[in-house]
Structure 1
């Protein structure tokens, strides 16, 4: 332990020396209490039920005030929270174009995924996003919450199930909205990127009236509008991380329409891009002897491309549609009303509508391209296999009709390669998500008790319009009967049949009742003994059906659905005492009953001891749990794939050159149909923290905390996790395919069985994750009199260990690696993240510099078989950068990443404030990450969760705010 504890200061010093920190303008909670001479008030800090005057609690809490948020230079809450040092592996960013939960953003404290972090609004639960992360993990979408409605954000970095119940394993993010407002404030700002795309506009207005003390009430309304344009891959493809041609870097040419990617050293086709790839012009190809060296095997259907030009990469296609950042638009309205009642009772009511629209796509460069004539759809027993049976292409007999005006003129059966003209060249999802919330809280005193009670109705409704999906049977029928022209110019009615547009509505509701009462019971030791007791009830309903055409198999999609509900009833309490001077003790416990699985009891204990004003110690121990959600125990299903494996029958030895093997089946990604399990138990955790609080001189505050979290009975799928689990694949009927002759050539034949369609895999309780690390928060404020004030705030996290233990007992150390790459786009698990904010204020000027730092990490993930650099690109991410080649060692690690943001505010007078910001001041590019699959559809090689700021590039913005 001593050796581990020593490593953190060295890591921090190294980070400071390199100037590698990240910002979110974060101020530790302890800095808040030392900030000034405002009247002392009792407040309830996230993680406790008992009000207090000292906001530095026994549990680590990080606070972002409204002023901190404005100083960050960010334009959305999702961007702000993505820079948190404690936000780790499994975080879900809006740049992840292929996510199940497309368009949404979630927080993953301690790297334990978004499902283990509880997000509250005003201390209460909110309906989760109706599209779960990886179709399993429930989370609250923070991308829809507006800046101007926020009063503060508190991040509790400790287990808190004893207070809040399920999901609070890694911690809690509590977003506190404004309670009252007087006067009117209008603001507007605009920004743009230096390299194209991403233009952003934001405007807001807030107005309120009524004085609580004089009038007995306050009413206000705030509205905000924000629009952000898309950034396309084509806006950035001059950079290595967005360029598909890897030949100069020792890899393959993955440029759309480049056949060289499909040839080995002897000129024979390999299984990349379906052996050959669709080009700018459709063409027919007959396999012949199994090589592509004979021009007579090709028939190009347009004079703009021919054999010579094609083989010289002269018929490539530029991806002008795939997104790096989706187009989005937010419209948000919050109305509040506060009324003083009799005595000291007060009523607070809020109604809000947060609407986000985003246009997401899965990219035209996806391995299973939806817009090429090559088919990849199979329907078996009424279940769509969603891109499983990867047919190389549509096959036409010699002399057969191939659409309108085209026949196969080659000497044998031919395959059609090309892109389908006239349809959306991506799987596009036009996603509109509306979050509505009606909440009322009442607080006051009765019979010596401080009472807080609340009720709320919350709902998230998501409507999705789909385009770019292909009805393969309709397409093939139109080709065979000659009604579809492969060169374009087709009638809209024909296109509508081939690529139908369809919609889907998904809904998530959560209604709650809360009540908490607290009071001082007696004097004991050096202070009072305080008790808080409470009760909670919520009912959650999720209705996320699959879109009709995906359910019936009309079109291929990563179809998933969740339909289910849960009712939770709980009682809880907290006891606080000061048995001796300067020692504060807390005990808390909660009993939860869920109608889905049964009950859980979660206790916790904490202490804070401050022997002097200059130093203090604190620690916590907590148990926690995550209840199985409707996606795991309800009526639900989804498709998922593991890493490439050989078909056990069609390619048993994995060698595509073995005689009798089907080469295309030597590296398949077979899908599994994920099913629910009514007998699941909740995930259970235990955690503890120990920290030091120091204030050696006035204005300097620092905390250093050690944390440890262990999660058991994790809910995982049986395939790949349960020892002895042997999937039985459902297979499609056997059809003609290329079969190896054993000498490097192939012949067309019918194998003994059809290709694997899918297998069923239920959820199980199995496996353990253990993680521990150190976190530092340092705040310094230096008042220089007439020369102004200097501020410095540092938040840093260092992961000592992150271990996953499989059901069979195998332990994998994943700290500083790509793993666990099985969740949320292989986001990576760097050991160090930090945020440093430097500020200077004098008179009307307020200047802030924020430096964001993420350390380097390995692209290996041993938990999925990536044990060497050669296996990184394929095994960990399913990518083909170096398939069939030796991956250069330089791509076995992802480099560290540092960005700097500047924000300047100038107060012209009492009413008008001007601001300007530059994000990513030095225009740092993202490091290449060949393991992440977060942007696989667009075939970009950067980490969209950790390094999105680099992909966006330098961003300028200016704005103004006027209040009266």
Structure 2
């Protein structure tokens, strides 16, 4: 149930001391009030099942507060395509602090977008979750670094009456994505009640969804503003005279590739315009990962006596995901192998060859399956400790240690540079015959062009391809001690409370890519690299003061210090919160505090690493008469300019700092009815980010054409980062990690919950949550103006508004839930492609968008429940974006939408002994 409610940061079931008060997430001090100064949204295990959610990731991504776009399975060739995360309020994924049972999760070893540390939440076993708590706003005064956007606390089950087994299976009506999940858990309590043990296991398998299984993604855009254009799978081109078609067989030899869809194609305006290509290569990539995962969980407690309890738990996860970036990332060309071009004396021209590899060349029907990337992760989390009471006093204690580690193995299919170059020299180019007569820089070859336009065998393909494995690991060890007194002294409003916490820990990160990515022996690919460690220390205190019966004041403060490479990075944070209850049914609350994010280990220790990508060279396109909002006709030499990017960390980075405050009301006039409204305000400075290559190219254009002052600090910095060669073409772009100036965000979150018992007609409950971003501005440099992330679609396509709601009816052994997820208008592609925003050519907005889930459950007999769930009941697909060109593979915004369609699931749950 998506309601602000009481939630225990660390479950007290079976504790040595029975308390009427509970520990609420957002506070360290036990209390009796359900609602406090800090809003908390709670999603129970029953809600997860009733709404049809299949994973913790889906639960969180559907939350109304998750308004920001994130990379994932639909983002082909991203650095973390196999991972899952969320963005709260459109802030970076790394601004969320993730906890399991109140203790921090270990970071994912690979870097989000090749640059940022974040958490992968795909390995949490959803069937073993008791509830999930979302605590929005800056929370560093209690939880330390990373808690800028908020805190998410996943509470796993702690006790059970007997054993439970569940099985769930289903798939998608459009094909692909079929899955099965089974789980088993059992609890045991000793006869004297002193020992409590719970164990559980969850196993899941899921098939991938391929682009060719969906109408929107199976081919290049047939309904764009420009004609659909096939991929350039066999192409010869010159930087000076554009395309050259030199196939004596007119593509007849390759027509059987890509399922028989290859043919002679033409792109007007590109020389002779002819090449061999297919409209269907766009579908040869995964848009949902294949997945196999197993999680094992054990929790136990032992009451030594009335004052002391020992506790421990362990969570192990093994997960393998498989995915394919597509034929656009499985190709070969001379531009990378031979320094840019080769010279053909018979044509007196500098040329390049490029060709994609088809599934038939990789091994027949399963060719692309054979070349999928495999990410295998193993994570372990172990906690041991003791808690209890100091003698007959009012002082409680909790002392424990937690160790977490995350190991990742990325097994990718690659092309080996030397072997590929030798193969194509022997087969197509022939021996080199010196250097070109014009520049004396490019090799001279007289190719056998007929051989170039000829398929290769799977054996030949295997001769220059294989697998490269990258290993990475993070670990975090922590010793934590807390003392608490919930009745420190008495004030007019009740008992004051105090909590003090001390922490010490060690953190490590190591990312060791296959050597071939860094030394160039792997063709066309590179990687990030780095590693480091640091010690961390923290002291936290919280004081709760019921000043008057209706008024409570809470104060919290924390000091964090990180020691890395002889440098001490420290930060104090604090918060002041007020609760005012003029009447029993009304709470007025407010909070002000500071938050921060320390430079992560990757921020500090990421080595200088490179990547290949493409960018529009807006400046050179403008010289040919193409404006930034319409570069479709600009030659590929400029409109899809390949460049080498570099990035690196810095030991001198500063912490990210934030001032965050909130104010709200909770009104509950009758039983089972509550309305909450909360306002949040962030002012974030000194952010660490990697600059945008596309933004740098556009800014370079603005500086060189006089739109902006070429002597301004912004232009000087931009032109130093964008490197051009002697003929003025982009060759390198440096996108470093920097502390940028400022980001400001205002957001509103409201929820409504109502329930009514109709007697013989059953029980009805309604729950709804709504989030609206009121303002979101970003300033990259102190000398620059603010970018409006909320209203300027060039900088952000996130929705301003998002909501979800559920209606549940319970009657006897029967229950039914209807769930709706909604978000407001979003920009089309044309609006995001130019700095003119909605004034640009073809720019427009899409209307609001919603999807609906339905579930029905029935208890067949005591302990046995059967459920049918239908997600996306109306099989709603993304709105078709006609402002994309015909060269686009996905004519929709994959950051806001997915093309998975309607899903069906059947679930059986049996509780033994019920």
TM-score range for the pair, normalised by the shorter chain length: 0.7 to 0.9
Structure 1 residues 141-167: Cα deviation after superposition (integer angstroms, max 9, x where no partner): 111101122111111012110001000
In structure 1, list runs of 5 or more residues that go unmatched: 1-24, 33-38, 257-276, 380-388, 399-409, 735-751, 822-827, 872-886
In the other structure, the counterpart of 2:785 is: 810
Q: Pick from 605, 626, 630: which aligns with 1:634?
A: 605
Alignment CA distance shift 1:46-1:862 (3 Å)? farther
In the other structure, the counterpart of 1:419 is: 356
Q: After the TM superposition, which residues 442-481 of structure 1 pair with which residues of structure 2 at under 5 Å, given as runs?
A: 442-446=386-390, 447-467=393-413, 469-481=414-426
Structure 1 residues 833-862: Cα deviation after superposition (integer angstroms, max 9, x where no partner): 001010000100111110000111224899
In the other structure, the counterpart of 1:234 is: 212
In the other structure, the counterpart of 2:333 is: 374
Structure 1 residues 194-220: Cα deviation after superposition (integer angstroms, max 9, x where no partner): 111111111111122114x83311122
In the other structure, the counterpart of 1:846 is: 815
Structure 1 residue 524 corresponds to structure 2 residue 469:
no
In the other structure, the counterpart of 1:605 is: 576
Q: CA deviation at 1:731?
A: 7.6
Equivalent-residue separation in structure 2 for 1:613 and 1:60 (angstroms): 18
In the other structure, the counterpart of 1:579 is: 547
In the other structure, the counterpart of 2:184 is: 205
Q: CA deviation at 1:584?
A: 1.4
Equivalent-residue separation in structure 2 for 1:634 and 1:335 (angstroms): 35
In the other structure, the counterpart of 2:439 is: none
Alignment CA distance shift 1:214-1:483 (3 Å)? farther
Equivalent-residue separation in structure 2 for 1:411 and 1:578 (angstroms): 87
Q: After the TM superposition, which residues 815-964 of structure 1 pair with which residues of structure 2 at under 5 Å, given as runs?
A: 815=790, 818=793, 820-821=795-796, 828-859=797-828, 866-868=835-837, 888-889=842-843, 892-928=844-880, 939-948=889-898, 951-964=899-912
What SS does the corresponding residue of 1:551 show, helix, strand or coil? helix
Structure 1 residue 534 corresponds to structure 2 residue 501:
yes
Equivalent-residue separation in structure 1 for 2:151 and 2:26 (angstroms): 8
What SS does the corresponding residue of 1:89 show, helix, strand or coil? coil
Q: CA deviation at 1:766?
A: 1.6
Structure 1 residues 763-799: Cα deviation after superposition (integer angstroms, max 9, x where no partner): 2212211111211011111011222110100011011
In the other structure, the counterpart of 2:630 is: none
In the other structure, the counterpart of 2:665 is: 692
Q: Pick from 124, 141, 157: which aligns with 2:103?
A: 124
In the other structure, the counterpart of 1:217 is: 195
Structure 1 residue 325 corresponds to structure 2 residue 288:
yes
Q: CA deviation at 1:941?
A: 3.0
Structure 1 residue 114 corresponds to structure 2 residue 93:
yes
Q: After the TM superposition, which residues 107-256 of structure 1 pair with which residues of structure 2 at under 5 Å, given as runs?
A: 107-211=86-190, 214-236=192-214, 238-239=215-216, 243-246=219-222, 248-256=223-231
Q: CA deviation at 1:419?
A: 2.6
Alignment CA distance shift 1:662-1:611 (3 Å)? closer
Equivalent-residue separation in structure 1 for 2:794 and 2:558 (angstroms): 33
Structure 1 residues 473-514: Cα deviation after superposition (integer angstroms, max 9, x where no partner): 43232222239975345473x534422311111111111111
Equivalent-residue separation in structure 2 for 1:192 and 1:802 (angstroms): 38
Equivalent-residue separation in structure 1 for 2:138 and 2:152 (angstroms): 12
- Is the CA contact 2:646–2:733 (under 8 Å) kept in the aligned structure 1? yes
Q: After the TM superposition, which residues 348-427 of structure 1 pair with which residues of structure 2 at under 5 Å, given as runs?
A: 348-364=311-327, 369-375=328-334, 377=336, 398=346, 416-420=353-357, 422-423=361-362
Q: CA deviation at 1:183?
A: 1.4
Structure 1 residue 593 corresponds to structure 2 residue 561:
yes
User: Please, what TM-score do these two structures have when normalized by structure 1?
Assistant: 0.80
Q: Pick from 264, 278, 301: which aligns with 1:316?
A: 278
- Is the CA contact 2:3–2:41 (under 8 Å) kept in the aligned structure 1? yes
Alignment CA distance shift 1:775-1:932 (3 Å)? farther
Q: CA deviation at 1:176?
A: 1.0
Structure 1 residues 904-963: Cα deviation after superposition (integer angstroms, max 9, x where no partner): 111112221101100000111112468999xx9992133334323xx1111111111111
Equivalent-residue separation in structure 2 for 1:937 and 1:558 (angstroms): 26
Alignment CA distance shift 1:198-1:245 (3 Å)? same
Q: CA deviation at 1:127?
A: 1.0
Q: Number of aligned pairs?
A: 829
Alignment CA distance shift 1:244-1:182 (3 Å)? same
- Is the CA contact 1:286–1:297 (under 8 Å) kept in the aligned structure 2? no
CA RMSD of superposed structures (Å)? 3.5
In the other structure, the counterpart of 2:717 is: 725
Q: CA deviation at 1:377?
A: 3.2
Q: Pick from 62, 66, 71: which aligns with 1:83?
A: 62
Q: CA deviation at 1:436?
A: 0.7
Q: CA deviation at 1:631?
A: 1.6
Alignment CA distance shift 1:663-1:461 (3 Å)? closer
Q: CA deviation at 1:568?
A: 1.3
Alignment CA distance shift 1:663-1:609 (3 Å)? closer
In the other structure, the counterpart of 2:738 is: 764
- Is the CA contact 1:90–1:112 (under 8 Å) kept in the aligned structure 2? no
More divergent stretch after superposition (110-119 vs 469-478): 469-478
- Is the CA contact 1:651–1:663 (under 8 Å) kept in the aligned structure 2? no
Alignment CA distance shift 1:802-1:629 (3 Å)? same
What SS does the corresponding residue of 2:891 show, helix, strand or coil? coil
Equivalent-residue separation in structure 1 for 2:350 and 2:76 (angstroms): 38
Q: CA deviation at 1:818?
A: 4.2
Equivalent-residue separation in structure 1 for 2:237 and 2:834 (angstroms): 37
In the other structure, the counterpart of 1:504 is: 470
More divergent stretch after superposition (64-73 vs 302-311): 302-311
What SS does the corresponding residue of 1:712 show, helix, strand or coil? strand
Q: CA deviation at 1:759?
A: 4.5
Higher relative strand content: 2
- Is the CA contact 1:40–1:53 (under 8 Å) kept in the aligned structure 2? no
Structure 1 residues 870-905: Cα deviation after superposition (integer angstroms, max 9, x where no partner): 86xxxxxxxxxxxxxxx534xx32442200001111
In the other structure, the counterpart of 1:270 is: none
Equivalent-residue separation in structure 2 for 1:861 and 1:631 (angstroms): 35
In the other structure, the counterpart of 1:825 is: none
Structure 1 residues 704-745: Cα deviation after superposition (integer angstroms, max 9, x where no partner): 01111110011134685973314557989x9xxxxxxxxxxx
Equivalent-residue separation in structure 2 for 1:77 and 1:937 (angstroms): 35
Equivalent-residue separation in structure 2 for 1:861 and 1:938 (angstroms): 12
Equivalent-residue separation in structure 1 for 2:884 and 2:401 (angstroms): 42
Greater RCO (CA < 8 Å, at least 6 residues apart): 1
Q: CA deviation at 1:639?
A: 3.9
Alignment CA distance shift 1:28-1:838 (3 Å)? farther
Equivalent-residue separation in structure 2 for 1:77 and 1:862 (angstroms): 33
Alignment CA distance shift 1:958-1:29 (3 Å)? same
- Is the CA contact 1:803–1:811 (under 8 Å) kept in the aligned structure 2? yes
In structure 2, list runs of 5 or more residues that go unmatched: 9-17, 257-261, 267-273, 430-450, 628-633, 700-712
- Is the CA contact 1:363–1:937 (under 8 Å) kept in the aligned structure 2? no
Equivalent-residue separation in structure 2 for 1:895 and 1:335 (angstroms): 47
Q: CA deviation at 1:570?
A: 0.5
Structure 1 residues 560-613: Cα deviation after superposition (integer angstroms, max 9, x where no partner): 123122221010100001111121110000011111342100010111111112
